[in-house]
A and B are shown apart, each in its own frame.
Chain A
């Protein structure tokens, strides 16, 4: 495996290295400039910390729950997924299961006991409308509903059988 070719003389090698080091100097400067410029444009992928912090107050209501459902009342799947990860990070170790379809959510309200549901809507008005519908379904199934309303479209619905 050893080299069969003749190596360049040390002075030749040293000269090549020196040339390389000199040429690398402007490349390094360009790299540094490019790093600085492109790194800040990359922040569009990041989570604003305030968005995650908004879920923290729900922790008390979920303190003993291993799992809960989550429903995000946004139009795009991308926004719904983002809500999921914000909430999941803030509310760990409670494991959230994302529900995309309101029909499934209402079905779960009738079958799961207790049913814990974290919800987020773009506005408080939409949140209230949803809670009214949910309460109707839960009451029909003989459940009592406790709502933790954070007032910003986010809340925790806890429906369970009395007694």
Chain B
């Protein structure tokens, strides 16, 4: 247990150093909570990519070498940037912290609620993990077995092993398995505490990212409330404890959404460095196949909003280049995996059996929509989503009036979420399985992937659209100011 926790802490520390470096490239005084929020994406993301690439190349030594390489790069980054962090080079003013405008009592109440939520969640996580250390059926069948295969199988045997363990989604990509194998390989052994420690790190990352994301999108006043809402929700609890990939995917969806939205924010708030935002975006299909729908929806929506904005108000060529560079590692890993180790998988399964007949069958659409509707019905007593739906409806009723919905970065988020939802419904309609079984079994997890970003979007409606817009007139100007050299 101790070694596993230390290994995960090492990955997190490396992720923190790399995230702080990436944030510092545009904003040297990046506060540590923001680097902490991005640390799981950088740490586990980079480790999984290095480990996978190394094993795929067939060169021995990936097991201890993956994490060692990550640590070495982090130490080098730390050594070369020492003394630069915290220096404000151009005297560019930090945006005013909008949380200060909340009455003191509410601010303290927010902190108290957050502390109680986090304490309850961690205590329950501990109790659950002691009693059920192996996670759920899917955790074993899909992620943990594959992590052990990556760790123990010889190089040539991996593809065959993945094919033969076919019933556990053999074409599922490898962010979690490779990140777990990379950690286990560092000490040369598997420890069941590894998926637990990794799971709790992503869970806490989800909380910090929600908090930081609301601040990034100008709604820092609602940060504590939004974070408490996310961390108190039943789906987050059960799937975080389950050692499945849904909480990590929810975390990366949130990171990618906030990061890309900040590129389109018309206020003077500094955007997330494009390379960092796109790195999270590129990792979406590297976590689960569901991530393909997420990445396609977010990518299409971003392209659309980029085209719709005036030339001087949209991210410039350098930002676009950085976005492409950031997305490349994750997307390349997915393509390499699908064309090498992975057997034919989900896409063929869903598109193989008369897809057009399914798409024009109104009964299938009705079944899917009515099941999803029943799941999120605030009046349905058994639904784990009823209080979440109620809270979101309240937020929309109180915060939406006044035209805030049309701010470009929030409109981008709304369209990305809507496109993803439509994409998921289409996938259900094409499902090769019995819909009465498939939809109820999985809809909870698909909703979880989107839910934290929906909370951030709804609560970000509270952000003032005019905040700071007097200081810098356009997105390009903001990007120009933030893309300069770090020193």
Q: Is there a chain B Cβ closer than 8 Å to A89's Cβ?
A: yes
Contacts of A34 in B (CB 8 A): 234, 384, 387
| Proximity string of chain B (265-288) to chain A, C-beta cutoff 8 Å, 1 when within and 0 when not | 010000000000000000000000
**Which of A25, A28, A93 is close to B149, meaning CB atoms less than 8 Å apart?**
A93
Q: Is there a chain B Cβ closer than 8 Å to A103's Cβ?
A: no
Q: Is there a chain A Cβ closer than 8 Å to B225's Cβ?
A: yes
User: Contact at A36–B124, with CB atoms within 8 Å?
Assistant: yes
Contacts of A104 in B (CB 8 A): none
**Which of B120, B131, B222, B384 is close to A38, meaning CB atoms less than 8 Å apart?**
B384
User: Contact at A46–B391, with CB atoms within 8 Å?
Assistant: no
**Which of B133, B394, B466 is close to A27, meaning CB atoms less than 8 Å apart?**
B394
- If over half of B's interface residues share one DSSP class (helix, strand or loop), that class is named, otherwise mixed; here it is helix
User: Contact at A31–B232, with CB atoms within 8 Å?
Assistant: yes
Q: Is there a chain A Cβ closer than 8 Å to B56's Cβ?
A: no
CB distance from A24 to the nearest CB of B (A): 5
User: Contact at B106–A18, with CB atoms within 8 Å?
Assistant: yes
**Which of A3, A13, A14 is close to B403, meaning CB atoms less than 8 Å apart?**
A3
User: Contact at B466–A7, with CB atoms within 8 Å?
Assistant: yes
Known A1-B408, A95-B160; contact A24-B225, beta-carbon cutoff 8 A: yes
| Proximity string of chain B (190-215) to chain A, C-beta cutoff 8 Å, 1 when within and 0 when not | 00100000000000000000000000
User: Contact at A5–B403, with CB atoms within 8 Å?
Assistant: yes
Task: Give CA–CA (A28, B228) in the complex, Å.
Answer: 7
Task: Give CA–CA (A6, B229) in the complex, Å.
Answer: 29
| Proximity string of chain B (364-404) to chain A, C-beta cutoff 8 Å, 1 when within and 0 when not | 00000000000000000000100110110011001101111
User: Contact at A52–B134, with CB atoms within 8 Å?
Assistant: yes
User: Contact at B134–A45, with CB atoms within 8 Å?
Assistant: no
CB distance from A144 to the nearest CB of B (A): 27
Contacts of A97 in B (CB 8 A): 164
B contacts with A, residue count (CB < 8 A): 75
Known A30-B387, A85-B145; contact A18-B103, beta-carbon cutoff 8 A: yes
Task: Give CA–CA (A14, B229) in the complex, Å.
Answer: 20
- If over half of A's interface residues share one DSSP class (helix, strand or loop), that class is named, otherwise mixed; here it is helix
Contacts of B232 in A (CB 8 A): 28, 31-32, 35
Q: Is there a chain A Cβ closer than 8 Å to B289's Cβ?
A: no
Q: Is there a chain B Cβ closer than 8 Å to A76's Cβ?
A: no
Contacts of B225 in A (CB 8 A): 20-21, 24, 28
User: Contact at A10–B134, with CB atoms within 8 Å?
Assistant: no
Known A31-B229, A34-B384; contact A43-B131, beta-carbon cutoff 8 A: yes
User: Contact at B120–A32, with CB atoms within 8 Å?
Assistant: yes
User: Contact at B134–A49, with CB atoms within 8 Å?
Assistant: yes
Contacts of A25 in B (CB 8 A): 109, 113
Contacts of B160 in A (CB 8 A): 66, 95
Q: Is there a chain A Cβ closer than 8 Å to B84's Cβ?
A: no
Give the contacts of B216-273 with A (CB-CB under 8 A). Answer: 221-222, 225, 228-229, 232-234, 236-238, 241-242, 266
Q: Is there a chain B Cβ closer than 8 Å to A16's Cβ?
A: yes
Q: Is there a chain A Cβ closer than 8 Å to B137's Cβ?
A: yes
**Which of B101, B136, B222 is close to A46, meaning CB atoms less than 8 Å apart?**
B136
Task: Give the interface centre of A8, A19, A25, A88 by most chain B CB atoms within 10 Å.
Answer: A88
CB distance from B344 to the nearest CB of A (A): 18
User: Contact at A20–B399, with CB atoms within 8 Å?
Assistant: yes
Q: Is there a chain A Cβ closer than 8 Å to B148's Cβ?
A: yes
Give the contacts of B129-161 with A (CB-CB under 8 A). Answer: 131-137, 140-141, 144-145, 148-149, 151-154, 157, 160-161
Task: Give CA–CA (A159, B204) in the complex, Å.
Answer: 51
CB distance from A38 to the nearest CB of B (A): 5
User: Contact at A28–B229, with CB atoms within 8 Å?
Assistant: yes
CB distance from A107 to the nearest CB of B (A): 19
Q: Is there a chain A Cβ closer than 8 Å to B318's Cβ?
A: no
Q: Is there a chain B Cβ closer than 8 Å to A163's Cβ?
A: no
Contacts of A93 in B (CB 8 A): 148-149, 151-154, 157, 161
**Which of B134, B241, B394, B465 is close to A39, meaning CB atoms less than 8 Å apart?**
B241
Contacts of A27 in B (CB 8 A): 229, 387, 390-391, 394
User: Contact at B145–A46, with CB atoms within 8 Å?
Assistant: no
Task: Give CA–CA (A16, B192) in the complex, Å.
Answer: 47
User: Contact at A2–B140, with CB atoms within 8 Å?
Assistant: no
Task: Give the interface centre of A13, A14, A97 by most chain B CB atoms within 10 Å.
Answer: A13
CB distance from B424 to the nearest CB of A (A): 22
Task: Give CA–CA (A17, B400) in the complex, Å.
Answer: 11
Task: Give CA–CA (A161, B309) in the complex, Å.
Answer: 74
Task: Give the interface centre of B140, B154, B395 by most chain A CB atoms within 10 Å.
Answer: B140
User: Contact at A92–B388, with CB atoms within 8 Å?
Assistant: no
CB distance from A130 to the nearest CB of B (A): 23
Q: Is there a chain A Cβ closer than 8 Å to B464's Cβ?
A: yes
Known A1-B309, A95-B165; contact A7-B145, beta-carbon cutoff 8 A: no
CB distance from B268 to the nearest CB of A (A): 14
Contacts of A7 in B (CB 8 A): 402-404, 464-466
Give the contacts of A38-86 with B (CB-CB under 8 A). Answer: 38-39, 42-43, 45-49, 52, 66-67, 81, 85
Enumerate the 5 nearest inter-chain pairs by beta-carbon distance, A residue then B residue, closest first.
A5-B403, A93-B152, A93-B153, A92-B148, A3-B403
Besides A35-B120, A46-B135, 15 more A-B contacts (Cβ < 8 Å) are A3-B403, A3-B406, A7-B465, A13-B464, A18-B103, A24-B229, A27-B229, A27-B391, A28-B117, A36-B237, A46-B134, A89-B134, A92-B153, A93-B154, A95-B153
The contact sample of 7 A-B pairs, CB cut-off 8 A, is: A3-B406, A6-B402, A17-B462, A38-B234, A39-B237, A47-B136, A95-B153
